[in-house]
Chains A and B, each alone.
Chain A
Amino acid sequence: MTLFRLAFLSLKSRGMTVGLTILAIALSVVLFLGVEKLRTGARASFTDTISDTDLIMGARSGSVQLLLYSVFRIGNATNNVTWESFQDIASRPEVSWAVPISLGDSHRQFRVMGTTPAYFERYRYRGGRPLAFQQGRVMADLFDAVVGADVAEQLGYVVEDPIIVAHGLASFSEHEDTPFRISGILEKTGTPVDRTVIVSLEAIEAIHVDWQSGAQKPGAPTPVDRLREMNLRPKAITAAMLGVESPLQIFTVQRAINEYPEEPLLAVLPGVALQELWGIVGIAETALVGVSAMVVVTALMGMSAMILSGLNARRREMAILRAMGAGPWAVVALLMIEAILMGAVGAATGVVLLYLGLAAIQPWLDYTYGLFIPITALSAREGLLLVAVLAASALVSLLPAVRAYRMSLADGMMIKM
């Protein structure tokens, strides 16, 4: 009969109270780890969105803003980059490749992005993975469009379906006269690409031929055949992804762009801009972690109060143990073991609930927020958090344990009830 077994049996005999206490701990652990999983998941999801791109270039604004609109399609560009400036930068000897992107149009709730076919070679995500097609291929015709996996899934598109691109975001005025055809559907990536309609830069120009300042020019629209014959060289782009010959030259190119005399431009390293973003989001994250940690502490205080309130009723139990030769320290150990057991069962239950919950809400999070939380084993940090919960259980049990120590010294083996 070990102390451990004694503690276990004693807890079992108080099933209801102990069960509720454990549930409170479990739920607090779910919240704590859940916040942690969401936080790291969101970070990983952001970080995984772009890789192998050395610099992102756009009109001068904030580096976080540039990163957000160019890569994550969050917010809008304040200004465009002229085609000449882009050509200038792209032709620099240090620049090994440059992919322009043009944003601003939408298809249903999805953004439309104009780019060059090089985008499909150069855009990499999740540590260097290239885009892949589940159906069809890169656009070949002026009015071809490639759609991301979510676009295809949510709108039920297959290759060869016609689609209509609207000017501006959430716009009522649709470019009805220039219908596009889907040439390819991309595999799911877990990045904003899934929610993007990709067309050529020329196509973006073509649909704006009859438009000026966001309104259609009066008169008959230009026929499609005429459009095909027009010079559709873009006048401006929204941003560009750049690759540099050698990592050593990244800063040279960045400086050249930032000091570009013809036009105010900005170049950012995606990783650095992300760090800056985390710096901003970090405060909210810290608050969230802090609040969920407080919930764990509250649950553990509840456990301490529960043990404390049960002490008087257990004086006889302690006196019996003392008579059997247990020292007061054995009583202390017994109470601490009980607390740690409850903490451990609570933490384990919490982990199980966490994974059940993650499995349940994962598709919804992905669908609704484009946030993919991978179901992975607990990280070292999360494991450490669980150990901290156990340590805190032991710590909060000190209060009732010390009280029990005093009681059992005063009572000895005589039961005063």
Chain B
Amino acid sequence: MNNTMTRAATVVRGDGLFKEYYLGRTELPVLKGVTVSIRAGELVAITGASGSGKSTLLHVLSGLDVPQRGQVFVDDAPIFEPEGQRMIPRPEAVEKALNQAAHPPRASDKKGSGDPAFEARRNELRNTRFGFVFQFYHLLPEFDVLENVMMPRLVGATTSAWMGIRAAASERARALLERVGLKERMRHRPNELSGGERQRVSIARALMNQPTLLFADEPTGNLDGKTGRSIFDLLKELNGDGQTIVMVTHDRDLAAEAGRIIHLVDGRVESDR
């Protein structure tokens, strides 16, 4: 298995990632120079104690959040603008002062989403290449199950193209719901479903655009043991079909079943095996 993984192409690579949060004037470093690569077909579990930076690492790798320093590469192309780049140039003196700081902040960290070209790339990646499963499911309560699953396809299309793609999207969503065992619940609203069912819907949604990489942030964290197990089994089944999955979890039993475990301690990779 290890040999296979070595040969497989790198899907996403995080290089020297630093991330700090600011609580008022207090800086709270979360990632302190993390470098990881995810290869095609892997089921990677990111583990660590609370506050060790595992969710932050997943968010940064998937382009949901921005690191102050370091870069994430997808297909060897960066997804964040270079550090210090700003759309509106700062006065020279200010720029100089900031560059001398210990961690010169990336422009997009503080002001909006940064360079539009990079943002467009991240949007496209999140829409077509990445799928997301969250601890709290994050389904849209105003839409029914089928519409929630179709959402990535609809969001990725222009309004005028909606009618044209709707039928195909609906067909794919129905197939996915059948696969996750929710064929009978597709016209229900999320608040009419149990936790496990909601998580299945969110997995179906994540698979809608046939992503290269599935990011799962504590997918079983909000479920009882039995339901959590069934969700993990589903993810494993998907991985068995070739789906690359990066999963954050602090359930050691589940993590042990993953092909690879990246263990973080205090914002640094302690082990990667």
State whether these chains interact: no
Please list the residues of chain B having a beta carbon within 8 angstroms of any beta carbon in chain A: none
Please list the residues of chain A having a beta carbon within 8 angstroms of any beta carbon in chain B: none
